[in-house]
Chain A
Amino acid sequence: MYITINGQNIELAENTTLLDIIKKQDIKTTLYAVELNMKIIPKDKFEETVLNDKDRIEIVHFVGGG
């Protein structure tokens, strides 16, 4: 199956979880949220979230200025 992460198409094995794919990302901040198909998935749900074909994932960086 194929998913899109941060605009890039990648091929994944069936039953890959969100945690599997997030672990492989080089995220340089702790202030981020993960969006799956326009929905924010809490970090403690990454492991139970199994990805499906055509899923779209985006790492959303939280900003903190005023």
Chain B
Amino acid sequence: MERYSRNIILEKIGLEGQKKLLDSKVLVAGVGGLGSYVLVNLAGLGIGNIGILDYDVIELSNLNRQFLYNPSQTGKLKTEAAKKRILKFNPDINIETFNTKLNESNYQSIIEKYDIIVDCFDSFESKFLLNDIAVKTSKTLVHGAVSEFKGQVMTVIPGSSACLRCIIPYADLNEYITKGVVSPIVSVIASIEALEVMKLIMGFDGLLTNQLLIFDALKTEFKKLTAERNTNCMVCSGEN
């Protein structure tokens, strides 16, 4: 517990709160840029059970932002390299890896082990699939995304707050995304995602539910837009 003393000293966390964090189960979906920073933050908080889901291998071009990895590991699985690195930092965490691409037929056995899913995926297609799966399985989703110098975060509590499809119902999910992104925007958005996880577990107010947080780094501007559940949402309208 000594390593968590700076958490526990906080009145709003305390020993009870730290135990809640240690008992919690969080799935990190994607362990590229966002996933790297989210994992370190979750390990620092003392999230006791973490799942890491990814099927990708390490490439040199990842290393402008994916600091869990080093150049000698190119070609190796990200999940295994991430697990190794995080366990070095915090050996007490129980980490399970899933070296697979999430799809409609394999999600059940992965998702059921966790209470909260953190979206660190890197395409619209995978992000919206994750949204749909989270709603279907009633798992809380912390959505985050980055590109260039911008990012966004929204927390989805299925049946109670707006999901991604409530906001963007019709989209071409194969639309081209620029691969350009800088590390600091990734760490800002990932840190906000990790804070959402902490607030969810601790039962704090101030969640980004029914709110889309947008950060524009070039303007240094945060914007919190109000979103509402769409009663006609193709994904979550039947849930409550």
Contacts and interface: CB of A to CB of B under 8 A. Distances in A.
A43 B169 contact: yes
Interface string A21-42: 0000000011111010011101
A42 B127 CA distance: 19
Contact of B177 (A40, A43, A64): A64
A40 B152 contact: no
A31 B171 CA distance: 6
Contacts of A39: 225-228
A63 B150 contact: yes
Given A64-B124, A65-B178, 14 more contacts: A31-B124, A38-B223, A39-B227, A40-B227, A43-B169, A60-B212, A63-B148, A64-B145, A65-B147, A66-B34, A66-B35, A66-B119, A66-B123, A66-B145
B87 interface: no
Given A40-B227, A60-B225, A66 B168 contact: no
B30 interface: yes
A66 B223 CA distance: 20
Nearest to B147: A63
Contact of A63 (B121, B146, B166, B230): B146
Contacts, number: 90
A48 interface: no
Interface of B: 30, 32-35, 119-124, 127, 144-148, 150-152, 166-172, 175, 177-179, 181, 212, 214, 223-228, 230, 232
B177 A33 contact: no
A30 B34 CA distance: 24
12 contacts: A30-B171, A30-B172, A31-B175, A38-B226, A40-B212, A40-B226, A43-B170, A62-B168, A64-B124, A64-B177, A65-B147, A66-B119
B166 A65 contact: no
A44 interface: yes
Given A30-B172, A40-B212, A42-B169, A64 B127 contact: yes
User: What 9 pairs between A and B have smallest CB-CB spacing?
Assistant: A66-B122, A63-B147, A64-B124, A65-B147, A30-B171, A39-B226, A30-B172, A40-B227, A66-B34
